[in-house]
Structure formats: structure tokens, C-alpha cells
């Protein structure tokens, strides 16, 4: 396999040594695990890819490279909150520095007519960036706003089967009643959210030229859909509803692992997993569900997917449009009653293979060149 040649720079700047590089290029420059908000999970997520990265990519000069990669995720510039990093925030000096360095690299690359790759993770990753000719890999993206230079970056997680299930899918047999699982954040609007929404929409009009979907829209949609499912007598529900985010950002490793185990157990004990966007227009849970070999019940909110020019995502699991929320139970029952017991088992294995072959860090980056060489 021909390696994709890339170039980057500015990765040894003294004031940025504590900032994680984008995972694609990390193993070419660093050996230690960076100090990031996911803590020790970071190495669990990317270790397999980091061991094989040199098989897929080659670090070269600007003149010889196929692509130029910005070394820091654009989330470091934008911030992951409703409002971007402000001048008075603690993160602003680093954000400003990374933005300036990114613009320097971008200008140097365009002077040599080289494609520039930007990685943009996080809940605000659908927003415009000032690098108009860059190829942007975004975790969240609205399909109706997508440009030819936008691609979807999976929300990467550790291999849940390998770490929590001894490497084997816990296969479920088909039952008369489908069991739908969910473990996570689901709550209603608060008055403080309305104030933040007003500030956010004012900012979006000024910087993006249009109002945006409210960041709490996903959580409200979850709450609505889960309530509908809970009331339906033909569906067994396995819900653990939380009022706040208890996993990401938790400073205590033991508590974080306890919550993670509850999350895994909820999936193991369910036939289908409800997957809906959160603050960003993507579902982290969708990728975790596929990793676990469970069948997603996905709510489409103008969503985009990785490698969607090669994968027919609509036929991989239960797909429900946002406008069809009221008929969500009927959609699940129609699907559940239409497949045989063996098809139900086979689909669990197919979901797992989809993650292993396309969506795990190693799988995604092993095919990364296809974004630039579709043939």
C-alpha cells in the first residue's frame, strides 16, 4: 500500500508542548500520552493506530508531501462551549497562538499549492473556519450545509469489546419484545439556557451569517423520544437517565470507570441502543454502539457520516427521521418483527465489523487516502 505523505510544523513550540497533537500525527513526534481531558482513555483509544501509523503515513518535506496537516485540533481555537474562547478566558492565549500558527502553516501550504487538512472535533465542529480552501474533518456536520471539502471524523472511543468484554461480543437472541437501551444525559431546558441561547444566536449571526440549531436541541430531542418509548407497552425500555454529564471531564478515575461500566452493562443488556445527537450534530453513542455489536436506533438530524460515499448508512441500522419521532416505537417494532432470529444475531456481528473495518482509529486512518484518491 502506498503511504500518504504529509507535512506539518510548529509542533515543538515551547508554550504548546502540553497541548495534544491531532491523533493522526502524534506517533511521528511524541511517545508520551498527552494530558487531555479524556485522561488515561486517550492511549486506550489510539494505541493500536499509533503502533501501525507508519504503515499508512510518511512524514516528508513541504515540497514532497501530498497533504499538509495542521498539528492542533481546531477545537483548541474555537473552544467546545456554546460561546467561543473569549479574550478574558484562561484558554484564550493558547487559542490565539494556535490560530496564528495554523494560519502561518496554511499560507505556506497554499503558496506551494498543497492541500491543507484540518481536524475539528467537538460540539461546535460544524461551524465555519477562516481557512476557506482547507479540507476539514469534522465530528459534527449538517448534511444540508456540507461542502465538497467537508468530511466526517468518527467520534473515537476505546475498543469496548476488547477492554470490557474479553474480546467477544455478548450476542443477544431475539425476543418477542425488543429491549431499547439508553444510559446518558437527558434533561429539559432551564432559564439560564435561554440567556445563553440568546448570546449564542447573536454570535452566530455575527460570525456565521445565520442563526444555528440550539445546542440543547439534542438533549431535548432525547428527552422527548425516550418519553415516547417509555410509554409504549410493546417495547421494553432499559434507561438510565442522568441530569448532568458524569463521564467526560470527571477528575476521578475510579468514579469514571464505575460510570463507564454502567454504560457498558446497559448496552450488554439491550437489543437496540437509542442514539441521538447531543450538543453537537453527531452521536458519540452511535459509534460506541457499533463497537459493542449492538443495533443503533438512530435519529437523523440532518446528519453526515464517515465514508458515506462508500457506505450505505441508512441500511445499517434503524434509521428514523427527526420528523418521525412520534412514530418511533412503531418504527422499531416494524424493524424488529421483520427480521428473523438469525438475521438479528447476524446484524449484531455486522455492526461490530462496521466499526472494526471503518470506524476504529486504525481502520479510519488506514483508509484516509481515499478522501483524496477516491478511486
278-325: per-residue pLDDT in tens? 889 999 999 999 999 999 999 999 999 999 999 999 999 999 999 999
**Cβ within 8 Å of residue 348, ≥6 positions away:** 169, 171, 172, 293, 294, 295
Alpha-carbon torsion (271, 277, 281, 283), positive or negative: negative
Beta strand pairing call for 116-120 and 57-59: unpaired
Q: How many CB atoms lie within 10 A of CB 312?
A: 7
Q: Regarding predicted confidence, which is higher, 93 or 108?
A: 108
Residue 159 has pLDDT above 90, yes or no: yes
Q: Regarding predicted confidence, which is higher, 103 or 44?
A: 103
Q: 139, 73, 131, 138: which is closest to 104 by C-alpha?
A: 131
pLDDT value for 38: 45
Position 375 confidence tier, pLDDT thresholds 50, 70, 90: low
Helix, strand, coil distribution of the chain in percent, nearest 5? 40, 15, 45
**Cβ within 8 Å of residue 173, ≥6 positions away:** 341, 344, 345
pLDDT value for 89: 66
Helix (H, G, I), strand (E, B) or coil at 240: strand
Q: In the chain, which segments carry CATH 3.40.50?
A: 160-359
Helix (H), strand (E) at residue 4: strand 4-7
Tell me 327's DSSP state.
G
Q: What is the mean pLDDT of the chain?
A: 89
Distance CA 363, CA 361 (A): 6
C-alpha cell read off for 251: 477528575
210-264 residue pLDDT tens: 667 766 777 889 999 999 999 999 999 999 998 776 666 566 777 778 888 999 9
Distance CA 55, CA 2 (A): 9
> What number is the average pLDDT over the span 76-99?
77
Domain 160-359 has CATH 3.40.50: yes
C-alpha 244 chain-centroid distance:
19
Position 1 confidence tier, pLDDT thresholds 50, 70, 90: confident
C-alpha 355 chain-centroid distance:
13
pLDDT value for 120: 97
Residue 12 has pLDDT above 90, yes or no: no
Residue 86 has pLDDT above 70, yes or no: no
pTM: 0.91
pLDDT value for 251: 63
Q: How many CB atoms lie within 10 A of CB 104?
A: 12
Find the DSSP H helices in the chain: 41-52, 75-78, 92-111, 160-164, 191-207, 217-230, 253-268, 284-291, 328-338, 341-354, 361-366
Amino acid at each position: 500500500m502506498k503511504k500518504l505523505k504529509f507535512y506539518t510544523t510548529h509542533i515543538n513550540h515551547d508554550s504548546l508542548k502540553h497541548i495534544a497533537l491531532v491523533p493522526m500525527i502524534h506517533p511521528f513526534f511524541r511517545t508520551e500520552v498527552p494530558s487531555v481531558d479524556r485522561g488515561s482513555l486517550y492511549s486506550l483509544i489510539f494505541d493500536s493506530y499509533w503502533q501501525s501509523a507508519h504503515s499508512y503515513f510518511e512524514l516528508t518535506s513541504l515540497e514532497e508531501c501530498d497533504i499538509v496537516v495542521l498539528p492542533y485540533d481546531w477545537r483548541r481555537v474555537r473552544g467546545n462551549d456554546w460561546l467561543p474562547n473569549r479574550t478574558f478566558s484562561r484558554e484564550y492565549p493558547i487559542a490565539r497562538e494556535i490560530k496564528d500558527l495554523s494560519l502561518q502553516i496554511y499560507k505556506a501550504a497554499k503558496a506551494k499549492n498543497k492541500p491543507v487538512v484540518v481536524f475539528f472535533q467537538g460540539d461546535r465542529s460544524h461551524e465555519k473556519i477562516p481557512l476557506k480552501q482547507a479540507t476539514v474533518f469534522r465530528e459534527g456536520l449538517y448534511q444540508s450545509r456540507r461542502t465538497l471539502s467537508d468530511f466526517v471524523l468518527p467520534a473515537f472511543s476505546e475498543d469496548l469489546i476488547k477492554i470490557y468484554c474479553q474480546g467477544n461480543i455478548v450476542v443477544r437472541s431475539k425476543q418477542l419484545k425488543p429491549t431499547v437501551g439508553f444510559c446518558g444525559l437527558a434533561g429539559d431546558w432551564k432559564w439560564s439556557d435561554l440567556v445563553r441561547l440568546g448570546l449564542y444566536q447573536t454570535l452566530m449571526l455575527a460570525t456565521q451569517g445565520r442563526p444555528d440549531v440550539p445546542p440543547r436541541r439534542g438533549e431535548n430531542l432525547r428527552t422527548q423520544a425516550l418519553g415516547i418509548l417509555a410509554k409504549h407497552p410493546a417495547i421494553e425500555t432499559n434507561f438510565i437517565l442522568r441530569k448532568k454529564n458524569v463521564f467526560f471531564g470527571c477528575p476521578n478515575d475510579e468514579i469514571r470507570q464505575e460510570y463507564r461500566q454502567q454504560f457498558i452493562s446497559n448496552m450488554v443488556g439491550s437489543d437496540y441502543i437509542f442514539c441521538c445527537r447531543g450538543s453537537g450534530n453527531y452521536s458519540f453513542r452511535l459509534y460506541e454502539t457499533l463497537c459493542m455489536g449492538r443495533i443503533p436506533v438512530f435519529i437523523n438530524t440532518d446528519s453526515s457520516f464517515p465514508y458515506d460515499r462508500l457506505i450505505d448508512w441508512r441500511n445499517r441500522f434503524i434509521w428514523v427521521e427527526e420528523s418521525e419521532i412520534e412514530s418511533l416505537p412503531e418504527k422499531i417494532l416494524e424493524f424488529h418483527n421483520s427480521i428473523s432470529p438469525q438475521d438479528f444475531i447476524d446484524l449484531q456481528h455486522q455492526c461490530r465489523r462496521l466499526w472494526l473495518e471503518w470506524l476504529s482509529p486504525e481502520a479510519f486512518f488506514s483508509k484516509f487516502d481515499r478522501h483524496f484518491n477516491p478511486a
